[in-house]
Every structure is written in C-alpha cells, then in structure tokens.
Structure 1
Amino acid sequence: MKITSIVGTRPNFVKIAPLLRSFKTENDIESTLIHTGQHYDKFMSDVFFEDLRIDKPHVHFNVGSGSHLKVIAKIMVTAEEYFMSSPTDLIVVVGDVNSTLAIALAGNKMGIPIAHVEAGLRSRNWDMPEESNRILTDRLSELLLTPTKEDSRNLIDEGIEEEKIHLVGNIMIDSLFDSLERIGDGSEVLDRYSINGAKYGLITLHRPECVDNKENLKAILDAFNAIQQNVKLIWPLHPRTRKTINEFGLNDYLKEFSNLHVVEPVGYHHFLSLMKNSFMVLTDSGGIQEETTAMEIPCLTLRNETERPITVTEGTNQVVGMDTARIIESVNELLSGKRVKGGIPELWDGKTSGRITKILRSWWQSKM
C-alpha cells in the first residue's frame, strides 16, 4: 500500500512523526512524506525534524506564504501535478491548516481516498480559518480518525457515516511521551534562561483573534504586565506576534515588563523542557491545551472557546478569554494554590499511531 502523508506547518510535524515511525515497521507500507512549505523556516524545520526523528521530506512543494486562497490554490495545483505523475493509494492529512484542506480537496477531485488524523474537532467559531478547514476536510475524507469520543459524536451529529469514523486517541501525545523520555529534566534549557529552580509561567500567542486585533492584543499585554509583577514569565515570541506588536506601536510598552523575558522561537524539545518545568502556561494554541493536560500542568487558554473541550472537562485547561481582569484573576487563583485537578483522557496513551496503522491496513485489505 502506498501512503502519502502531508505536512505544512510545525504542529503538523508533531502529529505526523509517530505515524511515520509506525509505517516504517510495516513491510507492506510504502510511505512518502510531502512538505507543502506553507510555513517554512529552514532552521526551525530542521530542528523540529531532528527533535521528532523525521526523515527529510521526499517532496517539497515550496508554496511559501500568502493569503489563504493563494496558498490553498497553489498547493492544489502543485498536488495535482505531483499525483498525476506519482499515484498513491491513500493520502494522510493531519490537523486543520490550509495545507490539510488543500490536499483533501485535490485528492478528492482526483479520486484519491483521504484519511484525516485529528478529525471531528469543532470550536463552532466560524471566524476561525481552522474551523472551515477541519469541517470541509472531514466531509472529503473516507477515514476519520478522532482523538476523543466527543469528536466522534460531532461527526455523527453532522450526518457522517459511522463506519468511516474511528476513535484512535490523540496522536500528539505519542510525540509528547516519546520526547519527554528523551529530554531528561530540561535543566540545560532552564540554565540558559537562568530559571532553574524558579517558578515561572510560559506564554505562547499567535492566533489572529489575539494578535491581529490591537484592542485584544493590548488587553492581553496589560494582563501580562500585571502577572509578571508576581511571577516570572517566559515568552518565545512568534514572528506574527512580533510583527503586530511593532505595527501597533506596543514594542516600547512590552520592554517595560522587567520580569517577562521575550525569547526567540525554539525547537520542540527546547519548548517541552520549558513547558515541563513551568508553573502554568498561558496560550492560544490548540495543541498546547492537550500537552499540558497530558502533563497535568495548569493551562489558561486566551480564547473565547476551544475545539478541545475535553481538556477543560477532564484536563487542566481553563478557557479565560482575552479580558484583562479575568486573565489576572485566573492566574492569581493558581498562585494562591487553587490548581485545576485533571486527568489524562482515554486513549491518550502514546499508542495512537499503532492503532491508526492497524486501521489503515484493515481498510486497504478490505479494498483488495
């Protein structure tokens, strides 16, 4: 069976890595990896590929950045040309980025079956580009591989045939558990920032609703300003966020935060070392909500909703929005000892990639 897997952004690397390693153990699977180049920084891509033990992609589309429509169109046209000359039995897409949707559309139009890893997530916020990406990708896919029972229910409620839906668990946790075994205590990273033994919070922020709106970004920065007066904060600053901070004239304001340390973006293992040893995480990321739940670290999500509600109902996540006072209040509760006690959801056990591989092989055998 020929399987072609697609990545386009760094979160995709984390999700595809354990699956590629699983494919390697199967003699009857011929695996190809395509990088669309939707987000591409040579240094950061190389670091992530090394950290996650991913071989270099067999094919690179080099589409670069651009508007949503331009990126999707470019990937679709390039994918058509590629699959015309290099047929495949199955395309595997992960997550909900533009590359995911573009390849799903191209594969569907060319009659190539699609397997969607991380299917069924729903924020019900149509202002999020990812929401339309994930819903359309699910509609176009023949195999829908879900992280939780709630994600499976979402698909059933939308009228998708149950035989297409497979509860497999969370693929990101495979990468997380594998990497945690290899990074040790992370002391080398902590020493770099002089935070070994210190209580600190970790920040990530990059979503358009948080950083492209000046009012929202200023409200979040105001919260960070208050928080850093009580606890040290470490912030690997996303290029998009750095750009809007400068455009909105907020750079000088940020420099006043003496106990908030802005650092350059870091690799996966480097970031896990920071997260593993943190007191709490403030984020707008989806994947980090899951990773903090798996590591039982308090997470405050700076959004008004989440497509990963299980991290709230069963995990350590709280959705606190972008209101300055509410963010500060939530942090103060954590500082006072009111920690959210969560557990690890069902099938978030580091064995999702094996379950997916078994399902894909069974699907293929049914076609023979």
Structure 2
Amino acid sequence: MPTVMLVAGTRPNFMKIKPVLDALEKRAAHVVLVHAGQHYDHAMSEVFFADLGLRAPDRHLGTGSGTVVQQTARIMTAFEPVLADIAPDAVVVVGDVTATLACALVTAHSGITLAHVEAGLRSRDWDMPEEINRVVVDRVSDLLFAPSPDAVDNLHGEGYHPHQIRLVGNVMVDTLLANLSRARESNVLARNGLKAGEFGLVTLHRPSNVDDPVALGTLMTALGEVARLLPLVMTVHPRTAKRLDASGIPTGLQLLPPAGYLDFLSLQAEARMVLTDSGGVQEETTVLGVPCLTLRESTERPITIAQGTNTLVGRDPQRIIGAATRILHTPPPRRCPALWDGRAAERIADILLDHLAAPVRNRPTDLPASGLDGTGHPANRAVARQRR
C-alpha cells in the first residue's frame, strides 16, 4: 500500500485530519502524521489530540510563532527534509492556515502528489491571509477535495480540470458527528454556571477584528448591547486575550479560557445563538442547528448563508443587535447541506488511493488561460506521473 503524509498545524487542522487518517489506516495505507507546530501551546494543540483520540504525530516540526512570512519560511525549511526523508506517495493538506500553504509549496516543488482537503472555498476578501492561502494551495494541488457545491463551482470557474475536482462533503462534520454524544456528556456548562439555551457563545480571533483597537472596541460595544438581551460567554483566543483589557469588557459578557474540542462543541450545541468570526464555527453551527451571526463582511462558507442558519452582520452594532433580536424572537429553521453526513473522509480515502493505484496519473495541461500568471495553470509539474 502507498505511504500518505498528512499535515496539520492548528486546531481546525486536527479536526479535519483525524477522520482522513482513520479512513486511510482502515484501508491499510501507511500514514505519516506531521504536526507543523503552528499552534504550539497546550490549549490550542495537545488538548485536541486527547479529545479527538488522535494519535501522536510521527514528526513534529516545532516551528512556533512569528509573522506569517516568518512562520511560512520556518515551516517550509523544517518540512523539506522530512518530506525528502519519508518520500511519501502523496501529501494531504487541509484548510487554509499558514502551515497548509508552506507544506503545499514544498510538496509542489518535490513533484509528489498533493491533495487539498477543503478546496475551492472563497471569501474573495484579499485582506484575509487565509484567502491567499486557499487560492495558492489549490493552484499547486493535484486533487481538489471540495466540501460543498459552491466550492466546486468556484474551481470550475477558475479553470481547473474536472478530473481534479471531487465533491466529497465536509470532514469537519465527520468529526463533529463522531464526537457529539461525548461532547454532550461534558460538564462545561455546570463548571461555568450556564444553562442550556440560556446563553450566547462568542468567538473572535481574526486579525481584522482583534488587532485593530477601534474594530475590537466597536464589537465589544455591540456585544454589550446583545448581552442585555441574552447573557454571553466568550472563549478567549490567545490573540484576543492580550487586547481585551484595553478595549474594555462589557457587562454581561463572561470570559472563559480556551476550551478543548469536546467542551467547545458542547458550548456550541447548547447555546441559544453563536456570534463568531470563525469559518469552522459557521459550519458546525449549521450542523447543530444553532443560529449563527458571523462578525465579518464576507465568508468563504456561503452555503451556510444559503441554508439560512448563518447571517453576515459585519461589525456594525445596529446590524448585530438587530439580527440577534430577530433570532431570539424567530429562530431560523434547521437545515444541513447534502453530503455533510459523516462520510466525507471515506470518500477522500477511496479517491486518493484509487488515484495512487493508477498506472499513469495525469495532470491536465490544457486548462483555460485563468492561471495566476494569465497563461494557464501555473502548477503543471508534469503531464503524467508514473506509479511510484
């Protein structure tokens, strides 16, 4: 069987990689798990390994903190010798974080088959580092595993070959459904004096929201008004904790330390509503049937808007307060996209292993002139790859 390297570096990556790892190992593939080390503190890393039952990584790059450029360079430099040493048949990267970009670029230069889980998501907001990462990683990938029809449409519109694009569903949902019953057994509500359905959950971590004192202050004002209608609790991301004291914490907003996966899933499932700037939380609340207000002007998960479970409210206090008021009076209906059924990773494993078993693995060279340089796909590393 082939050797497949899976790369994860942050909390969302761990949740996405776990079902893929399980599905590949179930099919007897040799799986090498690499922890890129982008989230390196216990609350954002190791606790999720324990909660998810994710085995220890085979390699840990330990790259640590820094600017986006510094982290990218460190991860690339650390990942290159690991990739050369193991020489896998394929590398699978997930999501849109710095580690995803860095390891994808190294893999692309190596000529090894690269697969991107969560391909095709687009916010079209180029001020978000994640949007740059998504577009670049897709451009250098061989297999594009899309979570939803809108992602497939984006990839077709950008000129990718149909053979590269596979609609597989959402691996985050695989993990959620596999762990929901355990999460409901958590005592996180009792530990924090909360009652199911009687609080709203807040998460903030996007640089555009927490690094700008004016933006953060505006959001705190809006949250203070919402807290008059419904008590709020906020799990404090390390990025946000450093800045909240300066902006002021409104009455009615209770701060909680970073939560492990099971505790956070329990908080989401039992909340009356969720206010967030997280893409993953938009998806999880859709599956859980919990109304979500997204504190951004754009989203790479428009399917959650189409389902009616999520509303973009930006940072305008009046929009936020108005939307929260409407939800409290008339909650939206619960709907879930097709293929968000807990079996996305199984589809990914089958497609990837079939691809690697093919005697010739084609990479199309006849794509439309829609590449980053205007001359076509910039990542045509080879017309065909012979079986390794």
Calculate the TM-score normalised by the size of structure 2.
Answer: 0.90
> What amino acid does structure 2 have at the position aligned with 1:308?
R
- Paired position in structure 1 for 2:32: 32
> Given the alignment of the two structures, is residue 84 of structure 1 paired with residue 77 of structure 2, yes or no?
no
- Paired position in structure 2 for 1:362: 354
Counterparts of 2:79 and 2:308, CA distance in 1: 38
Say if 1:315 and 1:344, in contact at 8 Å, map to a contact too: no
Counterparts of 1:339 and 1:350, CA distance in 2: 25
Matches within 5 A, 1:106-121: 106-121=106-121
CA RMSD of aligned residues (A): 1.2
Give SS of 1:206's match.
Answer: coil
CA shift, 1:181, in A, is 2.5
Counterparts of 2:196 and 2:25, CA distance in 1: 40
Going from structure 1 to structure 2, the CA distance change for 1:6 and 1:123 (only over 3 Å counts) comes to: same
Counterparts of 2:53 and 2:197, CA distance in 1: 31
Q: Deviations over 1:282-331 (max 9, x none)?
A: 00000000000011110000000110000000140001110111101111
Going from structure 1 to structure 2, the CA distance change for 1:15 and 1:315 (only over 3 Å counts) comes to: farther
Counterparts of 2:225 and 2:267, CA distance in 1: 21
Counterparts of 1:46 and 1:70, CA distance in 2: 23
> What amino acid does structure 2 have at the position aligned with 1:295?
L
Matches within 5 A, 1:105-254: 105-186=105-186, 188-197=187-196, 199-246=198-245, 249-250=246-247, 253-254=248-249
Say if 2:10 and 2:44, in contact at 8 Å, map to a contact too: no
Give SS of 1:229's match.
Answer: helix
Q: Deviations over 1:21-77 (max 9, x none)?
A: 1122112x1000001111111354221001111001000001111111111111111
Counterparts of 1:151 and 1:275, CA distance in 2: 25
Counterparts of 1:355 and 1:215, CA distance in 2: 45
- Paired position in structure 2 for 1:314: 307
Aligned residue-pair number:
359
**Where has structure 1 moved over 6 Å in runs of 4 or more?**
none
Give SS of 1:228's match.
Answer: helix
- Paired position in structure 2 for 1:64: 64
- Paired position in structure 1 for 2:362: none
Counterparts of 1:293 and 1:57, CA distance in 2: 30
- Paired position in structure 2 for 1:6: 7
CA shift, 1:198, in A, is 5.5
Say if 1:39 and 1:64, in contact at 8 Å, map to a contact too: yes
- Paired position in structure 2 for 1:294: 287
CA shift, 1:185, in A, is 4.8
Calculate the TM-score normalised by the size of structure 1.
Answer: 0.95
Counterparts of 2:195 and 2:277, CA distance in 1: 25
Q: Quick one: percent identity of the two aligned structures?
A: 44
Q: Which runs of 5+ in 2 are unaligned?
A: 360-386
Say if 1:152 and 1:167, in contact at 8 Å, map to a contact too: yes
